[in-house]
Structure 1
Amino acid sequence: MFYALEQMKDSYSNFDFELDGDVKNSIGRLIHRCKSLKELSQVHSHVIKLPHLLPNHRSFLTSRLLFCISPLSLSYACKIFSLIQNPTLFSYNAIIRANSTNPTHPSSSASLILYKQLLANGLLPDSITLPFVLKECSTRADLIAGRGVHAHGLKFGYESDVYVQNSLINLYSECGVSEDAHKVFDEMPNRDVVSWNSIIISSLRSGELDAALQLFSAMPERKNIITWNSMITGFVQGGRPKEALEIFRDMQVSVDTVYPDKVTLAGVLSACASLGAINLGRWVHHYIERTGTTCDMVLGTSLVDMYGKCGFIRKAFEVFLGMPEKDVLAWTAMISSYAMHGYGRDAIELYGRMEEAGVRPNAVTFVAILSACAHTGLIDEGRRYFQRMGKHGIEPRVEHYTCMVDILGRAGRFDEAEELIGRMPVSPDVFTWGALLGACRTHGNIRLGEKVARLLIEMEPENHVFYVVLCDLYGKSRRFEDRQRVRSWMNDRRVEKGAPGTSLIEVEGVVLEFSVKGSPEMEMEMPMERLKSVLETLDNEMKVDEKYIETLL
C-alpha cells in the first residue's frame, strides 16, 4: 500500500496538472481498497502532502477518507472533519453517522450539534442525514428533539421516504410513545420489511402482544429472521411462552425459508424453561450440536437455565462445566438451578468457586444464593451472604429483604423477621409480606398471620389468595365466625377465585394445557364425565393388579 502511494506521488510530479483528475480517481479507488485504519491514515497523509492537488479534489478525497475512517475511529474522524474548511453535505452525513452510531457518552448530543451547524451553513438535510439524527434522538430517548427533526422531515418533503419514516417509528418506540409510532406507520404510503419489523417491535415493547400478533399475521412482506426473533422473544418476555413456541413451529414450516439463529434458539430455550418443555429443549440442544452452532455464553447459559428449571440438574451442570467461558449470568443460572431444587450446599459451594474464578456477583446472584439458603434452612449462611452484599458494592433491594424474611420465617423466627421488615430502607411489597404470611401459615402463627393477611388485603383487595389464607388461618384456630365474615367480604367486594389451576404436558414437542375445565387445545375435547369414567376404570385395574401381586408374594 505504501509503495503504491510513493509510486503515485513520484509519477504525479512528472505529469501535467491536467492529470489531476486521474490521480483523484486512483486515490479514491485506493481508499476503498484499504482494510485497516493504519492504511487509511497512510493515504490521508499523502492526500495532505501531494503537491498541486486541486483544492476541490483534495476536499473530495478528504470527505471519502472521513466516510471510511468514521466507523473505525470517531476521534480521528472528528479531527479530519475539523480541518475541512467548507464541509459538504456528504462530509456532514459521514460525521453525523459516526457520532450517532458510536456515541462517546450516553448523554452526548454531538449529532444534534452537527445537524444545527449543517442548517446554519445553509445546507439542507437529505434522506441520509435525518435517519442518523433521529437515531441519536432514539438512543438518548430525546422525544422533544426527535419531534423537532420529525417536523423538519415534513418541511423538507420526506414524509414519503421509507428510511426516514422507519427511523421515526423507532424513535417513538424507544421513547415509549407507541401511539405516535402507529400513526407514522399507518400514514406511510410505502412500507418495507423494516417498517413492519419496527412497528411489531414497538407493539411488543409497549406490552401490546395481541396487536403485535395481528400485525405479524397481516404482514405482506416476507418475514425475515428479525421478524421471527422479535415475536418469539417478545412473547417469552411478555409471559406467554406457550405462544412463543407456537410461533417457532410456524417459523419452521413457513415459506420464508428462515433458519433459526442464536437469538431464536435462546428465546425458544427460555420458553422451554418456563413451560418445563424438556423434550423440545433437548431438541434445541441437539440442533445446536448437529448444525455446529457455536455454543457461546448466551446459548450455554440458556441451556443451563432450561435444564435446571426442568429439573435435570446433572445435565445443567454438565453443560455448565462444558462452557469454555462463564460470565456472572452463567454462574448465577447454575446457582439458581441448585437453589430451586433445594441443593443449598451445592449452591454455596458453587458460589465460592465463582469468587475464586474472579467473577463478581451481581444482585441476581445474591437473590439466588439467599433463595438457596431459604430452601435449605441455612439461617447463618443466609445472614452472612446478606451482609456480604455491601462488600461487592451492591445495595440490598426489596427482593433480597424478601429472601431474608423467607429464611427467618421458615425457621419460625418471626420477631426477627418483623424487625428486619421494620428496618427496611425501602417499602416492603406484597412478596415480602407474602413470605411472612406463608411462614405464619406453615407454623400456625395465627396472631401474626391475621395481621399480615389483613395488611395484604388492604394492599391488593382484588387478590383472592390473601382472603383464602386468612380463612384457612381462622379455620385452623376454629374461629368459624371470623372465617364466614371474610367470605362475606369476598362476596361483597365481588372477589372471585382466579382461573383454575392448570397442568402442562408435552406431547411430541407440543405443550398442552389442562385444567378442571378441560383443554382448549383439544379439537374434540373429552367430556368431563367420560374422563372420570376412564380414571375410575384405571383405578379399579390398578387395584386388581395390586391384589394379583399380593398373591405372588
Structure 2
Amino acid sequence: MSSTAAKPAGAGAGTKTLNSLGRRPPPSSVSSNPLPPEHLASLIDRCSSSLRHILQIHAVAVRSGHHLHPIVNLKLQRSYSSHGRPDLSLSIFRFTPDPNVFLWSSIIHSHAVHGLHHTALLLFSQMLSSPSAPLPNAFTFSSALKASPLNLGRALHAISLKRSFDSDTYVATALLDMYARGADVAAARKLFELMPTRSIVSFTAMVTCYAKTGDIDLARQLFEEMPDKDCVCWNTMIDGYTQQGRPDEALLLFRRMLRSGMMPDEVTVLSVLAVAAQLGSLEFGKWVHSYSANNRIPLTMRLRTALIDMYCKCGSLEDARMLFDEMPHRDVVAWNSLIAGHAMHGQSRQALSFFSEMLKAGIQPTDITFIGVLNACSHGGLVEEGKSFFSSMEKDHGIEPKVEHYGCFVDLLGRAGLVEEAYEVMSGIARPDPVLWSSLLAACSLHKRMELGEKIAELLITNGLANSGTFVLLSKMYAAERKWEEVARLRRKMKEIGVEKEPGCTSIEVDRKVHEFVVGDLSHPKSKEIYAMLEEIDGLLEAHGYVPQTEVVLHDLEEAEKRRALAVHSERLAIAFGLISTRPGTTIRIVKNLRVCGDCHAATKLISKITGRKIVVRDRNRFHHFENGCCSCGDFW
C-alpha cells in the first residue's frame, strides 16, 4: 500500500500548519538560542495542557532543527492527539524520515482512540507492507486492535499468537475488548479466564461484553467481584441497566456510586439522564442537570441534547426549548430531539414548524428526523401532510423509508380511520413487520372494524407473531360486541401458548420518590387515604355527569362490578395519591406503561376541571396534558 493511499483528507491542512510553524516567534519563556532536544521534550510535558503552548514549542523545535528528534517528535505527536488533533500528529509523522516503531505505534493509536478506525487500519496495513518500516511490537498490535472489527480482529489475534504477543497484558486486554465489542461472548470469556492477571480494564471489557449481549445479571455479578472500580466500569453497569429497560436498578447503582466517592463524568450524566427519561422523573432529571452544572461537567452538545430529550420525555417542553434556544450550535440530533418532543406532546404544528426552521438553517434531515415528523402528523391527525412528508423522504432527501417510517405512516392512516388504505400500504411491503400489523390491529379496534381486525389477528397468531397486545386488542373488540365466549376462548389460547398480559402500572414522583400503582393496589402505606380520596372523586365525577365506559372492561361482569373495576385503575390511584400528597394548584405528573384507557381519559379530563389541577399523563404512545376539562390530544390518540 502506498503512502499516498493512507493519507487522509485532513493531512493537507496539517501540512500547511506545520510549514508555517517555523515563521512563528518563539514563546517568551524560551530563549532564542537553540535548546537541546531534552529541554524541548521537558517543556512539552510541562505545557501539555495548552494547545497554544504546544504550537509555540513546536515552532521553536522547527527553528532549532529538533522537530525530527525521536523523543521530541513522539511527544509532539502525543500532545496533538491528546488535544483532539490527530491531523497535526499525522502531518508530523508524514514529514518524519524512517519513523521508528514507537512513532508508528503512536500514530496508529492516535487515530484509533479518536474513532478514526479506517485511517488507523490503513496506517497499520502500510506498516506491515512497507519494506522500510519496522516490525510492529505489542503496543502496535494493541493499538490496531482498538480499531478492528471482529473479523479483522480474529486475524490479528492469529498473528499475535504467531509472534507471541498474546501473553502481553496490553495485547490480551485489547483482544478481550475487541471480542467484547463484537459480542463474541465465548471468545471473550475464554481470554478472560486465561489471563494470569486481570486489570480493571479487562474486568470492564468483560462486564461490557455481558451487558451488551443482554446478560446484565452476569455483568453485575462480575462487577461485584472487581477488586477496584473506576468511573468507566460504573458507567458500563449503569448504562447496561438503562439499555435493558431497568431504570430503577440503574438509579440505585448511581446513588451507590455517589456514596462510594466516585466522581461522575459526562458519560455518567448521559446515562442517568436516560434513566430520568425512562422513569419520567422530572425532579430527578432537574437534580442531575443541577449536579452537572455545580460539579463543572462541561455542557457539551451531546449533554445539551440529552438534557433536551430528558425534559421532553419528562413533560417539560419549556425547559427543553430554553436549553435549545441557548445552544451556540445546533446539530441534527438536537433538532430531532425538539421535533420528536413536540410530536410526543401533541404539538404537531409546532413540531412541523421546527422541521421547516431546520431545513432553512441548512441542516440535512436524517431518518430519525422523519420518524419525529411522521409521528407529529399521526398525533395531530394531519393525514395529507403526513402523506406528503412520507413521499418526500426518498424523492427530496434520498432517505429510503424503514420499517419505523412505515409504522408511523400506517399508524397515521389507522388513527384517522383509513384502515383499508393502511392495509393496502401493508400489502405492498415485501416483509411487513409484526409491529406494523399490531398497529393496524389497534386501529381496527379503535374504529370497530371487526372483520379486518380478526383477519390481522389470525395472521399474527398463525405465524407465531402474536404477543399479549394482539390478544388484548382482539379481546377488546369482542368485549365491545359482548362476544364473551370469544373473549374466554382467547384467554384460554393465551394460557395454552404461554402468553401473559402485560400488567398496567402507573408511577408518580413526589418529593424525589417514585410511587408505583397497579389496578386495585392496596400495598401503599397511604392506601386508606388514597381510597378515601377516590371515593370523594367518584362522587364529584357523578355530580358532573360522568358515565363510566364499562365496555372497556374485558370481563363478563355485572354493571356495578365493572364500574368498581374502572374506579381503581392504576391511573386513578396515582392521581388520587398526587391530590393528597401535593399542595393545591400543583401540577400532577404520572407515567403509565400502557396506553391510557378511554374511561380513564374521560375521567381525568373531569378531574382536572373539578380540582383546578393540571394533570400531565405520559402513556406508552404520547403525552396528555389535561387542564380545565380538556386534553391536549383533542381526544385523538
- The TM-score normalised by the length of structure 1 is 0.79
Using the TM superposition, give the Cα deviation of residue 333 of structure 1 relative to its aligned residue in structure 2, in angstroms: 1.4
Who is 1:448 aligned against?
452
Matched, 1:502 2:505: yes
Matched, 1:93 2:98: no
Matched, 1:247 2:262: no
Summarize deviations over 1:377-420 as a string: whole Å, max 9, x none: 11111112212222122111111111111111111112321222
CA distance in 1, matches of 2:33, 2:277: 64
CA distance in 1, matches of 2:186, 2:456: 41
2:222 aligned to 186, 211, 215, which one? 215
CA contact (8 A) 1:69 1:76 kept: no
SS at match of 1:106: helix
CA contact (8 A) 2:336 2:368 kept: yes
2:76 aligned to 68, 72, 76, which one? 68
Matched, 1:151 2:161: yes
Who is 1:401 aligned against?
406
Who is 1:433 aligned against?
437
1:48-447 matches, cutoff 5 A: 61-62=69-70, 64-65=72-73, 68-69=76-77, 71=81, 72=86, 73=88, 75-81=90-96, 83-84=97-98, 88-98=100-110, 100-101=112-113, 106=118, 109-114=121-126, 116=128, 126-138=137-149, 142-152=152-162, 155-156=164-165, 159=167, 161-221=168-228, 223-254=229-260, 257-390=261-394, 391-424=396-429, 426-447=430-451
Mind listing any 5+ residue stretches in structure 2 that lack a counterpart?
1-24, 48-52, 543-637
Residues 434, 25 of structure 1: alpha-carbon distance in 2 compared, 3 angstrom cutoff: closer
CA distance in 2, matches of 1:440, 1:512: 34
SS at match of 1:128: helix
CA contact (8 A) 1:77 1:95 kept: no
CA distance in 2, matches of 1:187, 1:137: 22
Using the TM superposition, give the Cα deviation of residue 470 of structure 1 relative to its aligned residue in structure 2, in angstroms: 2.1
Amino acid across the alignment from 2:155: A
Summarize deviations over 1:81-118 as a string: whole Å, max 9, x none: 5x32xx64434434544564568772763344355359
Summarize deviations over 1:344-385 as a string: whole Å, max 9, x none: 122122222222222222211111121111111111111122
Residues 315, 133 of structure 1: alpha-carbon distance in 2 compared, 3 angstrom cutoff: closer
CA distance in 1, matches of 2:37, 2:461: 79
Amino acid across the alignment from 2:181: E
Using the TM superposition, give the Cα deviation of residue 195 of structure 1 relative to its aligned residue in structure 2, in angstroms: 2.3
Residues 208, 146 of structure 1: alpha-carbon distance in 2 compared, 3 angstrom cutoff: farther
SS at match of 2:118: coil
Q: Which 10-residue stretch deviates more, 323-332 or 165-174?
A: 323-332
CA distance in 1, matches of 2:184, 2:112: 21
SS at match of 2:227: coil
**Per chain length, whose mean CA-contact separation is higher, i.e. which structure has more relative contact order (CA < 8 Å, sep 6+)?**
2
Q: Which 10-residue stretch deviates more, 331-340 or 371-380?
A: 331-340
Q: Which of the pair is proportionally richer in helix?
A: 1
Using the TM superposition, give the Cα deviation of residue 545 of structure 1 relative to its aligned residue in structure 2, in angstroms: 10
CA distance in 2, matches of 1:191, 1:362: 42
CA distance in 2, matches of 1:438, 1:134: 48
1:465-504 matches, cutoff 5 A: 465-477=469-481, 479=483, 482-491=486-495, 493-504=496-507
CA contact (8 A) 1:374 1:403 kept: yes
CA contact (8 A) 2:340 2:372 kept: yes
SS at match of 1:109: helix
Matched, 1:511 2:511: no
Summarize deviations over 1:432-482 as a string: whole Å, max 9, x none: 112211111111111111111112223445623212322332343455555
Q: State the percentage of identical aligned residues.
A: 33
CA distance in 2, matches of 1:45, 1:315: 53
CA distance in 1, matches of 2:227, 2:212: 22
CA contact (8 A) 1:251 1:258 kept: yes
Amino acid across the alignment from 1:148: A
Amino acid across the alignment from 1:454: E
CA contact (8 A) 2:308 2:323 kept: yes
CA contact (8 A) 2:309 2:341 kept: yes
Mind listing any 5+ residue stretches in structure 1 that lack a counterpart?
10-22, 49-57, 520-524, 548-553
Structure number, greater radius of gyration:
1
What is the alpha-carbon root mean square deviation over aligned residues? Answer: 3.7
Using the TM superposition, give the Cα deviation of residue 8 of structure 1 relative to its aligned residue in structure 2, in angstroms: 4.3
For this pair of structures, how many residues does the alignment match? 504
Amino acid across the alignment from 2:215: E
CA contact (8 A) 2:185 2:210 kept: yes
CA distance in 1, matches of 2:338, 2:37: 60
CA distance in 2, matches of 1:399, 1:173: 29
